[in-house]
Structure 1
């Protein structure tokens, strides 16, 4: 094995950086969509919606109990078969061949993210002070207004640390997207390593990039936590 070449690692660093947009796109989009679906799942489970609540609990259990890579493969190979079944049984014309690997990755990571976020959101909503809802109702707010204006902001402040961890795990998890031919940071490093046989240099480049992104995300969520904490203290005062 050739000795590690710092010069080569530095030279190829910009090439590995080309995968950053795809990495961030997968993480950000799946986080945002996962928040929406996760919130709905959390409400279904909190309010014990008949049938749906049980199905949501089963879904969360399955996602948390299986590896992300397995979920990616299930989505990648299972979605086209499911769409073809719908087209055949219902006479639909849903596109199958036009779906790109990136679309499958976004779907898989959203499915994964929603399950984990639902647990964080459910715990945060349960931790909100119920007395504040009673106070909101006493001043003329409706239950929905009190929930949106009082409970949700409190829950968001509580959930932010967990949501930050979930997002950072998504960033790192995007390294598995290369398994379905999505060219992100890890895929760029793997391609360059295969061309040059400089595997260590390329993987060091990739690790530095992931570390920088995750460090920036840690700082961002720390700032958001501090901002929401100050806002909650002002409201309490």
Structure 2
């Protein structure tokens, strides 16, 4: 068996067509997940009645079950729920109006939210409590203390783990093909199936993922330096 280097280049050019789908899945899921995770983290830190128990149960369930399971539960369960509600209330909206990528985004966002909530919570708790008390002493509200003092420092602590979460979601986006969403992984299988050159196709996909991972790592490194300079009072 011989590897065909020329076909690796051909496959790589074909896989680029699926790159926007992979990036949309990654960026949207991580963005929504960060917002959801930050909200859950604050709910748990400040122990908001009732909500903090729901938040803790959500994090425990998501972290205790596989990501593929979340995708399948959303893919098969959400249509039943939507169609059931639509049938009961006579609503015109039905699950077949949701694009396949919509199920992926919902599932992956929920997964990202649970994991990022722990990252954000750890970052906030790492900030010295005395700084928050000092903010209160000068008349700041909790929201002002979080925005001006806690979150900038917490972001510096969280950034490496947030970067890992972004890279992890990028790689996990390959699960989208299980519900017929054509991402890079699915496109690699399509290209390979037409020529029976599976090894070359997967090498091309691996190179593409590796390149994006390197870009994320370098961007994170530069951002971390800027945040550290800002927190030290230097020029960002």
Fold agreement, TM-score > 0.5: yes
Q: SS at 1:19's partner residue?
A: helix
Deviations 1:65-112 (A, max 9, x none): 211111111111111011112223334333311111111111111011
Contact 2:86 2:94 (C-alpha < 8 Å) held by counterparts: no
- Residues 1-237 of structure 1: pairs in structure 2 closer than 5 A: 2-234=1-233
Cα deviation for residue 140 of structure 1 reads 2.9
- With 91-100 and 41-50 compared, the bigger mean Cα shift is at 91-100
Gapped regions of structure 2 (runs ≥ 5): none
- State the TM-score, normalizing by the size of structure 1: 0.94
For 1:38 and 1:48, the matched residues in 2 are separated by 15
Tell me how large the CA RMSD over aligned residues is: 1.4
For 1:144 and 1:25, the matched residues in 2 are separated by 31
Contact 2:75 2:103 (C-alpha < 8 Å) held by counterparts: yes
Deviations 1:132-172 (A, max 9, x none): 12222233322321121111111111111111100000000
For 2:141 and 2:59, the matched residues in 1 are separated by 31
For 1:138 and 1:51, the matched residues in 2 are separated by 29
For 1:174 and 1:105, the matched residues in 2 are separated by 9
Contact 2:45 2:121 (C-alpha < 8 Å) held by counterparts: yes
- With 167-176 and 66-75 compared, the bigger mean Cα shift is at 66-75
For 1:160 and 1:203, the matched residues in 2 are separated by 30
Gapped regions of structure 1 (runs ≥ 5): none
Q: How many equivalent residue pairs?
A: 234
For 1:68 and 1:115, the matched residues in 2 are separated by 11
Cα deviation for residue 223 of structure 1 reads 1.3
For 2:188 and 2:166, the matched residues in 1 are separated by 22
